[in-house]
Structures are given as C-alpha cells and as structure tokens.
C-alpha cells in the first residue's frame, strides 16, 4: 500500500506541473520560415498537452507536417515525441510506441545523443505503464548509458529514479537502493532540493521495507526538512504520511496517528482528495489498533465518502479521456481525408499542368516542323535549280569527254596496232625454237613479255663448231626496252661476223664498246644498257664457255644445280662506260648429261603469292632444282604452272 501511494502521488505532482495556460502561446510572423513555425507548434503542443490534449495534438500534427515537408529532422523528433506523450496519456500505448520509435530512428540517424536518450526514456515509460517492467528496465538503462556518456545530468537523474522505482516494485531492494542512492548523490552535487527530496523518499521506502526503521526515520526527517525549506506543502504532507506509516510498522500507534493528522491537515488545505482518502484509511486502521473505535468508525466513514467521490471523479476522467480519444480519431480521419483530397487535387493539377505542357510542346513542335519544312522546300528548290544547271554543264562536259575519249581511243588503237606490229617484227627477228632444236634436241624457250613488246631477248649463232647462245635483259620495259633489244641483237650478229676466233668474254667486251659508240654515251647522259649472259658450246669436245655481264647461268648436272655468277659490270649504261672493260670467261666441261639454264630476272621479280610479294631468286633457283630431273618439255609446263599459280591467273 505504501508503494502505490508514493507512485501515485509522484504521478499527480508531475501531471499538475505540465499544465500551462493558453496565454503562454506566442504568435509567429506570417513570413516566418518553416523551422520557426514548427518550433512554435511544438512549444504550443507542450504547453497544452496537460490541460487540452486535443489542441496539443493538432499543434503537434501541424509541426510534424512542416518537418516532413521541409526535412527538419530535430523538430520532427520533438513532434513525434509529443504525439507519443499525448497518446500515452490517453492510454493508446501502441500508438505511443509507434511515434516514439519513429523519433528514435531519426535521432540515431542524426547521432543526436540527447534526443536518443530522451526518446529511449519515453519508450521505457510506455512499457512501465503496460507492466512490461523488464522491457522498461532495458530502455531506461540504454537511455542512462547514453546520458552518462554525454553528461546530460537531468536525463541521468530521470533514468536513475525510474529504475529505482521499478526495482522497488519488483522487490529488488538492493538494486533499487543503488539507483536511489546514485540519484541522491548527483542531486546533492547539483544542490537540487526537489530532486534530493524524491531520492530521499525512495531511500526511506527501501529502508522501511528492509525494517531498518531507524535509518528510515532519519531519512524521512531529512526529506521533511527539505520540504519545510522549500515550503512545498505537498512534500510536507507526503513526509508526515510516510512517518505515520513508519510508526505504524513499529506499532507506535499514537505517534503514527499524530503524523497522519498532520498530513490530513495539509491535504485538507490543498484540497487533495486522494491524499485525504489515504489519510482517512490510515487513521481508521491506527485508531482501530488503539481501540478508539468511534474515531476509527468516523474516519472509515469519511474514507468511504471520499472514495465514492474519487471514483466519480476518476469515472469522469475516464469518460473525458474516451471522449478525447474519440475526438482525436475523428480528427485523424478528417486529416487523412483532407490529405487524400489534397493528394487527389495535386494529381489532378499535375495532370492539367502536364497536359498543358504537352499541348504547348506539340504546338511548338508543329510550328518548328513547319518552319523546317518551309526551309527545306526553299533549299530543295535552290538545289534543284543548281542540279539542273549542273546537269546542263555535265551534259556539255560528257559530250566533250565522249569526243575526247573517241579521239584517245583512236590514238590508243593506233599505238596498240603499232606495238602489235612491232611485236610481230620482234618475234620475227628473235630465233625460232626450232633453231635451238637443230643443235640441242631437248630445249625450250620460256618467254612471256610483260608488255606487247619486250626488253628481254635471246640470240643463237653457229661458228666453226661452236654454238653461241645469249640471253639479255635490256634497260627499261615496253618500247624503250624493245628498241634496246633490237640494237643488242643486231650488234651481236655484227660482232660474231667480225671476230674470227670469238669467245663469250671477247664478244661482251666488243658489245660494250659498240653500245657506248652507238648510244653516244661518252658525251651524253644516256645510261641505257643491258645485262647479258653468253655461252659457247663446242659440240665435239663438249666444252661450255660462259661469260656474264651482271647476268648468271645455272647448270643442273648429277642431281645438283650449280649457279655461275657473271661479272658485276653491265653492258653500256652507268656501269659499262669503261671502253677497256674486261669480262671473265669460264670453261666448263660437260662430262655427263646436263641442263643449262639462261634466265633473266623477269620470273623472280614477279609479284604474287598470298602476300603479293616478289617470287625472289632463292625460290626461283629452288624451283629449277626441283624440276631439273624431268624432261625439258615437262619442265616448260611446270614453269608455266608455277608462274600462273604465283600470279593468280
């Protein structure tokens, strides 16, 4: 019974301290920012929540809406905590927890230790109200830990005292004493007499339950001294009532009655019906113990009367709370309806704005496309006009070009006809393959001019048992090379007639002199000449003589291909302008069947193959070596095949 009286009294005093008149609310300027408006609504809600919770709730909702719109997180936390407090006072504990948890999430997000500790304390109060004491202890301890780390003394004291009350209600008296004692030490350090009073009352209650009556008496008297110093009659009444309880526990009923009467006198002066009820009940029990039955009966009657009065008052309060809850529910529904209506209006407005913007965009797009079309049509007309002019010019140019092409074609045909005729002459001059067969039964000529006429030529002559064969590569290609080949061919015929005992080297030396004279290269810049190889074969003694002017030959004999290199000097041109140019004469004995190859650089310089590169000398000599074992006619076919494969024809 003593425990419930202490808690209810403290609750009553706290409730009375909250109520503040509406006159304390101050209006804010119309153009004030949202943060100032939100703080105004929060202050108004705090002032009104004790006496007018419905108005306080409306102010808190206004603050909450502003903070959500403008993202003012600290004011959002305060608004949610006020809403939670109002819901708690009305007994809507689940709704209170919902608001507190939202506030806690934002406080932790901001690392706002003060508001985090404060909100954890509020959550603990809700769990205490629904008798979930272990959960309440957990939240009070979390709040206490943060408050201690950040030195928020008021929050520390708030949690210490509540933990003391809970542990006392759980009969964990040592823990309760520990928290009351810590609370008292801090209050004494802060010299806060009101806080010291409550801590002393808690310690006194613990001492009484532990039957340490002397200590309890000292503690209650110390609390009474503070009550007298602060001149708070409610505190004095509570102290006298507690001293009466202490005396009654020790069966000192006379002293107990005196203390109860003092408490009753103060309660009567303050018109505290609840405290009167407790005093009447305690006086009835004490007088009964003293066997003062008339007095006991009197106080019991007064107890019953005031109990009925309090019951009626509590019923009125319950009805009032129910009405407030009902009004708040209706208000919430109205707010939700208005919110939905506002959202619908916003959606409608947004659709209208979007529609208007789309119409403007379409109109602008049509206008823009029309301008583009007009501009394009104008450009198209100008382009068509230019095209017509260009067509006329092109027509004229085509006619001129056709006439020019016709003229060029005629001239080209004339040139081609001339070249074809020259080719016929060249073919007529060059020895026929049958002439070679007169001296060499197995022989072939592989001759493929790049142009219609060729700068390469071959020559054969017979003198005094010797067959002379030459192969020459003249400077240049086409017409220039063909003229040079005719000069060379003619000079060779002339030289072989002039020399009685001719050798390949001597023929080359004479040919060099005649080219220099014929082409006047001593006193001009002409550097035309030729690379040439000459062989002389004696049919009786089977001796092959060879001399080369920058031209080689190859001989395949006994399964081996051997290359004989000529001198590096050419006939005529830059490298042959010395009149006394000497050439080396090679004597090669042919003891067994052999194949002699005279060749220019035409085959090895052919471009082709997978990488479009030259055939090259090494590959050409390898080809000759590979085909040398076959009959001559078959070798000719194999050379043709290799040539066409490489060229891709």
DSSP conformation letters of 97-136 = HHHHHHHHHHHHHHT-HHHHHHHHHHHHHHHHHTT-HHHH
Q: Is the dihedral of CA 615, 616, 618, 620 positive or negative?
A: positive
In sequence order, the 6+-apart residues with CB closer than 8 A to the CB of 495 are 502, 507, 510, 511, 514
Average pLDDT over residues 261-283: 85
CA gap 99, 87 in Å, rounded: 9
Residue 331 has a pLDDT of 57
Comparing 348 with 125, which gets the higher pLDDT?
125
Q: How confident is the model at residue 7 (pLDDT cuts 50, 70, 90)?
A: very low
For residue 564, pLDDT beyond 90? yes
584 and 457 within one domain: yes
CA gap 375, 367 in Å, rounded: 12
124 and 147 Cβ atoms separated by less than 8 Å: no
Average pLDDT over residues 417-433: 72
159 and 121 Cβ atoms separated by less than 8 Å: yes
The answer to whether residue 274 sits within a structural domain is no
Residue 243 has a pLDDT of 93
CA gap 48, 86 in Å, rounded: 10
The answer to whether residue 492 sits within a structural domain is yes
Residue 21 has a pLDDT of 39
For residue 62, pLDDT beyond 60? yes
For residue 583, pLDDT beyond 90? yes
Average pLDDT over residues 103-128: 92
Tell which of 398, 429, 460 closes a domain.
Answer: 429
CA gap 2, 237 in Å, rounded: 14
Segment 205-209 long-range contacts (CB within 8 Å, at least 24 positions apart)? 205/2, 205/3, 205/6, 205/168, 205/242, 206/168, 206/173, 206/176, 206/177, 206/180, 208/2, 208/242, 208/245, 208/246, 208/249, 209/168, 209/171, 209/173
Residue 532 has a pLDDT of 94
215-249 residue pLDDT tens:
999 999 999 999 999 888 888 989 999 999 999 99
Average pLDDT over residues 523-551: 88
425 and 528 within one domain: no
For residue 309, pLDDT beyond 90? no
For residue 471, pLDDT beyond 90? yes
Please give the helix or strand (H or E) that residue 147 lies within, else none: helix 133-150
454 and 593 within one domain: yes
Phi/psi of residue 461, nearest 5 degrees: -155, 155
In sequence order, the 6+-apart residues with CB closer than 8 A to the CB of 285 are 248, 296
Choose the most confident range, by mean pLDDT, from 318-327, 347-356, 397-406, 596-605. Answer: 596-605
Q: How confident is the model at residue 368 (pLDDT cuts 50, 70, 90)?
A: confident
For residue 530, pLDDT beyond 80? yes
456 and 406 within one domain: no
520 and 411 within one domain: no
Residue 441 has a pLDDT of 85
Phi/psi of residue 72, nearest 5 degrees: -95, 95
> Domain limits at 409?
347-429
553 and 411 within one domain: no
173-223 residue pLDDT tens:
999 999 999 988 888 888 888 888 989 999 999 999 999 999 999 999 999
The answer to whether residue 68 sits within a structural domain is no
Average pLDDT over residues 17-32: 50
Calculate the CA 347 to chain-centre distance: 35
Q: How confident is the model at residue 6 (pLDDT cuts 50, 70, 90)?
A: very low
Average pLDDT over residues 309-329: 49
For residue 516, pLDDT beyond 60? yes
579 and 488 within one domain: yes
The answer to whether residue 390 sits within a structural domain is yes
Residue 110 has a pLDDT of 92
**What's the burial of 422, exposed, middle or buried (CB within 10 Å: 0-12/13-18/19+)?**
middle
594 and 454 within one domain: yes
Closest CA to 302 of 324, 279, 286: 279
419 and 490 within one domain: no
509 and 379 within one domain: no
CA gap 62, 238 in Å, rounded: 41
For residue 149, pLDDT beyond 80? yes
CA gap 495, 461 in Å, rounded: 11
Percent of the chain with pLDDT over 90: 30
Q: How confident is the model at residue 327 (pLDDT cuts 50, 70, 90)?
A: low
381 and 483 within one domain: no
Please give the helix or strand (H or E) that residue 416 lies within, else none: helix 293-429
**Which CATH number goes with the domain that contains 572?**
3.60.40.10
102 and 80 Cβ atoms separated by less than 8 Å: yes
The answer to whether residue 531 sits within a structural domain is yes
The answer to whether residue 388 sits within a structural domain is yes
CA gap 474, 459 in Å, rounded: 13
130 and 92 Cβ atoms separated by less than 8 Å: no
The answer to whether residue 362 sits within a structural domain is yes
Calculate the CA 270 to chain-centre distance: 73
pTM: 0.45
Structure tokens at 69: 């719109």
Comparing 393 with 222, which gets the higher pLDDT?
222
For residue 48, pLDDT beyond 50? yes
516 and 416 within one domain: no
Average pLDDT over residues 519-530: 77
Quote the number of domains for the chain.
2
CA distances from 86 to 26, 111, 133, 157 (A): 21, 25, 21, 23
**What's the burial of 75, exposed, middle or buried (CB within 10 Å: 0-12/13-18/19+)?**
buried
Mean per-residue pLDDT over the chain, rounded: 82
The answer to whether residue 590 sits within a structural domain is yes
Please give the helix or strand (H or E) that residue 608 lies within, else none: strand 607-608
């Amino acid at each position: 019974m003593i425990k419930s009286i202490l808690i209810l009294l403290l609750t009553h005093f706290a409730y009375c301290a909250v109520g503040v008149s509406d006159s304390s609310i101050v209006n804010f300027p119309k153009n004030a920012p949202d943060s100032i408006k939100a703080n105004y609504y929060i202050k108004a809600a705090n002032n009104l929540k004790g006496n007018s919770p419905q108005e306080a709730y409306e102010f808190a909702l206004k603050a909450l809406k502003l903070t959500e719109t403008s993202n003012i997180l600290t004011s959002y936390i305060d608004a949610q905590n006020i809403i939670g407090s109002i819901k708690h006072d009305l007994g809507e504990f689940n709704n209170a927890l919902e608001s507190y948890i939202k506030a806690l999430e934002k406080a932790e997000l901001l690392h706002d230790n003060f508001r985090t500790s404060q909100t954890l304390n509020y959550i603990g109060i809700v769990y205490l109200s629904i008798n979930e004491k272990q959960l309440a202890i957990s939240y009070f301890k979390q709040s206490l830990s943060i408050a201690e780390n950040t030195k928020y003394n008021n929050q520390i004291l708030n949690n210490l005292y509540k933990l003391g009350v809970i542990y006392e209600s759980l009969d964990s008296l040592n823990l309760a004493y520990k928290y009351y004692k810590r609370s008292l030490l801090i209050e004494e350090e802060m010299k806060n007499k009101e806080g010291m009073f409550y801590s002393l009352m808690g310690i006194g209650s613990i001492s009484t339950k532990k039957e340490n009556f002397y200590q309890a008496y000292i503690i209650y008297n110390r609390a009474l001294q503070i009550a007298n110093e602060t001149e708070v009659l409610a505190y004095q009444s509570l102290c006298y009532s507690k001293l009466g309880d202490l005396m009654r526990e020790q069966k000192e009923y006379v002293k107990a009655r005196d203390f109860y009467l003092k408490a009753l006198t103060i309660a009567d002066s303050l018109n505290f019906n609840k405290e009167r009820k407790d005093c009447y009940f305690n006086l009835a029990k004490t007088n009964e113990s003293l066997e003062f039955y008339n007095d006991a009966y009197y106080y019991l009657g007064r107890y019953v009367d005031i109990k009925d009065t309090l019951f009626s008052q509590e019923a009125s309060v319950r009805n009032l709370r129910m009405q407030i809850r009902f009004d708040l529910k209706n208000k919430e529904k109205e707010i939700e309806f208005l919110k939905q209506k506002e959202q619908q209006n916003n959606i409608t407005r947004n659709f209208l704005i979007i529609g208007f913007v789309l119409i403007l965009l379409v109109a602008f797009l049509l206008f823009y496309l029309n301008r583009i079309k007009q501009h394009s049509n104008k450009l198209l007309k100008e382009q068509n006009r230019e095209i017509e002019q260009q067509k006329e010019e092109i027509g004229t140019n085509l006619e001129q070009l056709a006439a020019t092409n016709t003229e060029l074609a005629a001239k080209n045909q004339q040139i081609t006809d001339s070249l074809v005729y020259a080719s016929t002459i060249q073919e007529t001059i060059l020895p026929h393959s049958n002439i070679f067969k007169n001296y060499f039964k197995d022989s072939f000529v592989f001759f493929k001019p790049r142009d219609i006429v060729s700068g390469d030529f071959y020559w054969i002559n017979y003198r005094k048992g010797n067959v002379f064969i030459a192969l020459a590569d003249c400077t240049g290609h086409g017409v220039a090379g063909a003229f040079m080949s005719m000069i060379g061919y003619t000079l060779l015929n002339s030289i072989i007639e002039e020399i009685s005992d001719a050798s390949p080297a001597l023929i080359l030396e004479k040919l060099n002199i005649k080219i220099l004279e014929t082409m006047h290269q001593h006193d001009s810049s002409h550097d035309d000449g030729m690379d040439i190889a000459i062989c002389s074969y004696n049919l009786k003694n089977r001796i092959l003589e060879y001399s080369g002017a920058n031209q080689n030959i190859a001989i395949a004999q006994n399964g081996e291909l051997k290359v004989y290199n000529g001198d590096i000097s050419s006939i005529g041109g830059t490298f042959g302008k010395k009149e006394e140019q000497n050439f080396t004469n090679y004597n090669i004995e042919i003891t067994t069947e052999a194949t002699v190859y005279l060749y220019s650089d035409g085959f090895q310089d052919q471009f082709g193959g997978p990488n479009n590169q030259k055939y090259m000398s090494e590959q050409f000599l390898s080809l000759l070596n590979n085909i040398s074992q076959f009959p001559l006619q078959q070798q000719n076919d194999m050379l043709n095949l290799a040539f066409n494969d490489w060229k891709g024809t």
